[in-house]
Amino acid sequence: MDICIFAGQGAQVPGMGRDFAEADAELMALFDKANAVLGFDLKKTCFEGPAEELTKSNVCQPAIFVTSYAAYLALQKRRPTSFAAAAGLSLGEWGALCAAGVLDFDSTLKVLEARGRFMQEACEAAPSGMIAIVGATQGQLEQVCATSGCTVANINSSAQQVLSGSKDAIAAAAAIAKEIGIKRAIPLATAGAFHSPFMAPAREKLAPVLDAIEFSAPKFPVLSNVTGKPHSSDPGAIKAMMLEQVTGTTNWAADVESAKALGGTRFVEFGPGKVLSGLVKKIDASLETFNVGDLASLEATAAALG
């Protein structure tokens, strides 16, 4: 069975979505619609950059969503595919919710622009960061967190976790990891400590934005980053969980295991890059992965799924 997965922040690259749009007037119209909804030229930034503008959270989050959703529609036009479930990493979970009909395209754009803006404001209010921990045992990971004051932001696989914390806590985590023999500890170039208590102001500001938007029950299962299980059919519960996601740990490894439990054997990643495909393979090398990020990968994936 096929699972659709949507890229998260960090996958952005100038030029993304351009060949889809230039080859299909309907997809070009999607980018034009995004411009109208947001009130700025997202299309130009996606197609041309500069990279510095594209990395701003309030631009990056809707940009990756539009590109990923365009990729999703491109495959459905090229080879209609019924997916058993959907998932996404952080902002990518919003793409999964949109694909499952929980909220419409316009509303998803508005949420992600606001979400990105609020998260950027939270980053600027309190200097913080993130660090990837590779090859740690559970005991070692707990020791790093307890000693440094960091919290777990992302569980990408059993061998790779990402911690969030203050700048001092990140430096302490790197030193402690080296002391206790953890394979690798890599500070990340992020604006701040995403998926941690540092994002509490963003979560608070996002709540009324979500309250004003109509959510529906998903047409097929969407896996929650927070629980690692499918969202309920209750729109209010989905909103609550998506607020929790702003400050809580994203458990991608659990999402993949849940997708497998639903019968998933093939994962199709939509959006720029292949980060999630790589993580799926690290979790279970027997799973098949495909990506749709441009016309070439669209054709290859359509042929493989056929």
Q: Which residues does 206 contact at the CB level (< 8 Å), separation at least 6?
A: 111, 114, 115, 118, 243, 246
Beta bridge mates, 151: 164
Q: How far is Cα 151 from Cα 38, in angstroms, rounded to an integer?
A: 33
Nearest residue to 10 via CA among 290, 296, 271: 271
- The single residue of 107, 148, 166, 195 carrying the catalytic annotation is 195
Q: How far is Cα 211 from Cα 202, in angstroms, rounded to an integer?
A: 15
Say what the alpha-carbon torsion angle 51, 55, 61, 64 is, to the nearest 10 degrees: 30
Classify 244 as helix, strand or coil. helix
Active site residue 231: no
Classify 25 as helix, strand or coil. helix
DSSP string, 119-185: HHHHHHHS-EEEEEEES--HHHHHHHHHHH--EEEEEEETTEEEEEEEHHHHHHHHHHHHHTT-SEE
Q: Which residues does 93 contact at the CB level (< 8 Å), separation at least 6?
A: 6, 87, 222, 224, 225, 242, 245
Q: How many CB atoms lie within 10 A of CB 299?
A: 13
The answer to whether 206 and 115 are in contact (CB under 8 A) is yes
- The single residue of 57, 68, 90, 297 carrying the catalytic annotation is 90
Catalytic residues: 90, 195
